[in-house]
Amino acid sequence: MRSSKTIHVISAHAEGEVGDVIVGGVLPPPGETLWDQRRFIAEDETLRQFVLNEPRGGVFRHVNLLVPPKHPEAIAAWIIMEPEDTPPMSGSNSICVATVLLDGGLVPMQEPETRMVLEAPGGLVRVRAECHGGKAQRIFVENLPSFADKLAVPLEVEGLGTITVDTAYGGDSFVVVDAAALDFEIVEAEAKEIARLGVRITDAANAQLGFSHPENPEWDHISFCAFCGPLTPTGTGVTGASAVAIQPGKVDRSPTGTAVSARMALMAARGELQTGQTFEATSIIGSRFTGRILETTQVGGRPAIRPEISGRGWITGIHQHMLDPDDPWPGGYRLSDTWGA
């Protein structure tokens, strides 16, 4: 076999959402900070296209690049590559990365619990893994500070008219809608329509509402639309289903860790969830993340929470992505049948 490029990948998923991890074959990108390196990956696009575009990737795939950390507390760092974005943080991808580091033997596993600090482009995340029998059974991630942005504001969406939405940040930026008000039950059969409508709502929210992170002005757009079902009280907090539409048009198979964090920030802002309480979030395929408010804090002078999310991850395979020097599509390709316009 001939190849002018060989990238070594350990594939994984977190509660259903794919989060592959590049463990070799790619040099760290240039940049003084991890955010600088993230910016290079986003603007250069060479690596993004190679691993995300077909024939190696697809709209369903996220890929994480392991790099040496910049912060002295961190044991490892990673840059997240999603279909359309290179975000500050991702809950499902952080669970995949932690699972690969421990189950893949890159970080020594301590039973019954392993603790480590990882660095995402948006900041440090502290990880606690419940480990048994040589397997990381459950990953707990202290996410980035999360906050409500706009509460109950009108949004004009073509074909829907005026709807009421919230916006929030949970390590990434969201427009949040009431699923029942739009006649969604958050079941698998609705996935295609949720994905398509979610892109339209996200586009409308960016055009009419916008978003700017108060401490990171480079993050100046809304990434996702979260369709949220009703909340039911539990002994420790609340539970509820949700489905997140990801550009250019797919539904997250997991409950989306950053969406869980953003929704807890909205609930905290409305007095619906207190410090120490939990939010049991269910995805469109029935998988679960557990969220918990660890403490209150501030981001740029506005009220915020420090959330914890937890879920399970599994390794699904080991791959070597290669490039034949005669391949006429070295950067791959995207077609509108799955990638949208």
Q: Answer whether 181's CB lies under 8 Å from 162's CB.
A: no
Instruction: Identify the CA nearest to 167 among candidates 176, 179, 158, 159.
Output: 176
Cβ contact 251:195 at 8 Å: yes
Q: Which of 11, 90, 242, 310 is catalytic?
A: 90
Strands 237-246 and 278-282 come out as parallel
Query: Minimal CA–CA distance to 91: which of 296, 281, 331, 334?
Result: 281
C-beta of residue 249 within 8 angstroms of C-beta of residue 202:
no
User: Cα 46–53–309 angle (5° rounding)?
Assistant: 95
* Nearest CA-CA partner of 305 in 239, 260, 341: 260
CB-side neighbour CA atoms (13 Å) of 211: 27
Active site residue 90: yes
Residue 227 — φ and ψ, nearest 5°? -90, 115
- Cis peptide bond N-terminal to 145, omega within 30: no
Which residues, listed in sequence order, are joined to residue 66 by a DSSP beta bridge?
78
Contact at 8 Å (CB) between 205 and 167? yes
* Cβ partners under 8 Å of residue 44, min gap 6: 29
Written as six digits, the tokens of 106 are: 């890159």
Using CA atoms, how far apart are residues 116 and 47, in angstroms rounded to an integer? 27
SS3 206: helix
Residue 149, SS3? strand
Closest CA to 86 of 108, 67, 109, 65: 65
CB 42 within 8 A of CB 33: no
Catalytic (active-site) positions: 90
